Structure 1
Amino acid sequence: MAARKTTSRKPAKTQSCPDCQDGQVLESFKVGARRKRVSNDRQEALCLTCWGTGTVAES
């Protein structure tokens, strides 16, 4: 009986996300009680395109 030979698959190439570099994006935010002006500061937020992974999911 011949030995069973398994074939290995190449891993799929991952594409980097076009909107972010590492899964994080900088977002501006509003401050103030009534007028809600935009602050000059930025805060990190999760990228909604890749959900923080940094790569685009193949569909």
Structure 2
Amino acid sequence: MATPRKSTARRPRKTMPTVPPCEPCRGTGEVAVSVRVGRTRRTVGQQNGICLSCFGSGLATE
């Protein structure tokens, strides 16, 4: 005689509310700033820096 099968159904987990990513850095924590040199202030490249909106965490603050 066969034994009855046990139920393997699981309850859904409670999820924490997600925090949206930071707008200026798009969640990376770094932003690119143009570097300008010379008397005519021409742009020569970009330099990475910490995002001042989220202080490098990548999460949006209120």
Q: TM-score range by the shorter chain?
A: 0.5 to 0.7
Q: Which runs of 5 or more residues in structure 1 are unaligned?
A: 1-9
Greater strand share, 1 or 2? 1
**How many residues align structurally?**
48
Q: Which residue of 2 aligns with 1:14?
A: 19
RMSD between aligned alpha carbons?
A: 2.2
Q: Which residue of 2 aligns with 1:26?
A: 32
What's the TM-score once normalised by structure 1's chain length? 0.61
Q: Distance in 2 between matches of 1:39 and 1:19?
A: 21
Distance 1:36 1:11, change over 3 A: farther
Q: Which runs of 5 or more residues in structure 2 are unaligned?
A: 1-14
